[in-house]
Amino acid sequence: MTPLILLGIPIGLAFGFALQRGRFCMNSAFRDVIVLKEYTLLKAVGLAILIQMVAFAALDMAGVITISPNTFFWGANMLGGFVFGIGMVVAGGCASGITYRFGEGMVGAMSAVLGLILVGLMTTMGAFHPLVIAIRGATTVTLANGANLTLANIFGIPHYILAFGIAGVALIIWAIRSKSSKGSTKEAEGISVGTKIFKKGWGWQATAIVIAIIGILAFISSTAAGRSYGLAICGGYWTTIQSLLMGQNLIGWLSVMLLCTILGSFIGAKIAGEAKLRAPAPKVLIQTFFGGCLMGFGAALGGGCNITHILTGVPQLALSSILNGAFIIFGCWTLAYFWFVRPMRNL
Amino acid sequence: MAEEIKPNETLDVRGEICPNPDVKTMVKLKKMAQGQILEVLVDYPLSVERIPGNAEKNGHKVLKVERVDGPNHKIYIEAQGGQK
């Protein structure tokens, strides 16, 4: 075990703090587009992806990191993503959402984490593992040379050209749109910078930029510790529990980072006066636990949660992550439609 | 200045998970008559930030957002009657 895994400490603390201050939850981001016609968090997710897309490509060119797309197993990506998307609506938060709310003291999020760990481990190494092997085995596709698929290498385009191209086009569209719809920034005046950072929830631009910077630093520091990938969450829970409960020596950069993420969120919530143990009704606790179970199964089958795939994989143009991410959104929207949109419409 | 707001109804969504505080508030407001005041008790930070904006977007009038202690807030909204 290299001491460089301790580089996960500052990354985790900063990540947890930023998640809590920015309320960065992809379940809210995706679900509320159809439930509340609310786009703020979605914009934060989009911008964080674009910034990382450019940075990862540049750092790969400079030899600092290596673009490391996850394996494309379309059946597992689709089913895993869909189940994860449903699970996060049931749990009331995505992997980052339940993790930062764990730090805030929300017991519903803690029970979701419990479900995610339990069924996640059953799927990565227990009763459901043969199913994973079968689905992945039947649907894995790689390039002829064994390389994992990206949007760039399947078309034979240099990675950096496509990454810079997508980010450039998105930037131009963004600039045109923001010009035509005059900004409705209602930033409160007369508030100190300290209050804005530590006491108030952050705006979406600040959240996106900070999360992206942490994501970039995470990839660099994780690479230094021998793990060629950026931010992730579920694997951190599973390896920590495997190490603590089963005596397997799996504590690495990701476990350290994840534990510090919870701590960072607690610190952020504490400073803002938002940390408090609070629990929903018992039946909601069971609901969030069940949601966590679905998330655990989906993440373990599909090769990662929304952070692994959408925040870190999509910027690497990984085909597995693009497909998995699309099915996370599909699962989220499917249940959100039946649970929230339709009942509200029928009032 | 410190005029006390007298709510007609109170909705306690403390401890509820995302997005129930937002959804329950919007549903409640939709069912209330014009001019009636709803008091929402909420402890979920994201909802504290979003309920006022969503209520206004749906035509209701936000009268006050008051921090009680820690994450606990009270939001007072005047319903505009059967809004979308």
For residue range A189-214, what is the model confidence (pLDDT) as tens digits? 567 887 778 777 889 999 999 999 99
Q: What is the DSSP string of chain B?
A: --PPP--SEEEE-TTPPTTHHHHHHHHHHHHSPTT-EEEEEE--HHHHHHHHHHHHHTT-EEEEEEEEETTEEEEEEE--SS--
CA distance readout (Å), A142 to A69, A154, A320, A321 = 11, 9, 10, 14
Most A CBs within 10 A among B12, B13, B14, B18, hence the mutation to make, goes to B18
Pairwise CB contact (< 8 Å): B54 & A273: no
With H, G, I as helix, E, B as strand and everything else as coil, classify residue A1. Answer: coil
Q: Which of B10, B14, B18, B61 is catalytic?
A: B18
CB-based contact B19 A347, cutoff 8 Å = no
pLDDT of residue A36: 87
Q: What is the DSSP string of A57-111?
A: HHHHHTTSS---PPPEEHHHHHHHHHHHHHHHHHHTS-HHHHHHHHHHTBHHHHH
Q: How far is B7 from chain A (nearest CA, A)?
A: 23
DSSP letter for A7, please: G
Let me know: does A339 contact A74? Beta carbons within 8 Å: no
Long-range contacts of A269-272 (CB under 8 A, 24+ apart): A269/A20, A269/A103, A269/A104, A269/A105, A269/B71, A271/A198, A271/A199, A272/A20, A272/A21, A272/A198, A272/A199, A272/A200, A272/B45
Mean pLDDT confidence for B5-22? 92
Shortest distance between the Cα of B70 and any Cα of chain A, in A, equals: 5
Task: Render the burial of A187-208: b for 16+ CB within 10 Å, e for the rest.
Answer: eeeeeeeeebbeeebbbbebbb
Which residue ranges of chain A lie beneath pLDDT 70?
A: 181-190
Q: Which residue has the tokens 């509820």?
A: B16
Minimal Cα distance from B72: which residue of A?
A274
- A282-313: pLDDT as tens digits: 999 999 999 999 999 999 999 999 999 999 99
β-pair type (B61-69, B72-78): antiparallel
Please count the other Cβ atoms lying within 10 Å of the Cβ belonging to residue A66.
13
**3-state SS assignment for residue A25:** coil
User: CB-CB: which of B15, B23, B30 is closest to A280?
Assistant: B15
ipTM here: 0.84
Residues A116 and A221: their CA atoms lie apart, in Å, by 26
**Rounded-to-integer distance, Cα A96 and Cα A27, Å:** 9
**Res A183: pLDDT:** 46
Q: Are A40 and A31 in contact (CB under 8 A)?
A: no
Q: Residue A185's pLDDT is what?
A: 47
Q: pLDDT-based confidence at B82, cuts 50/70/90?
A: low
Query: What's residue A345's pLDDT?
Result: 83
DSSP sequence for A119-170: HHHHHHHSTTHHHHHHHHHHHEE--TTSPPPBTTTTTT--HHHHHHHHHHHH
Contact A274 B70 (CB under 8 A): yes
B18 among known catalytic residues: yes
Give the pLDDT of residue A184: 47
Quick one: pLDDT at residue A107?
96
Give the best residue of B13, B46, B47, B66 to mutate against chain A (max A CB count within 10 A).
B46
Query: Is residue A278 classed as helix, strand or coil in its secondary structure?
Result: strand
- Does the global pTM surpass 0.90? yes
Considering only alpha carbons, which residue of chain B is nearest residue A36? B54
State which residue of chain A sits closest to B51, comparing Cα positions: A36
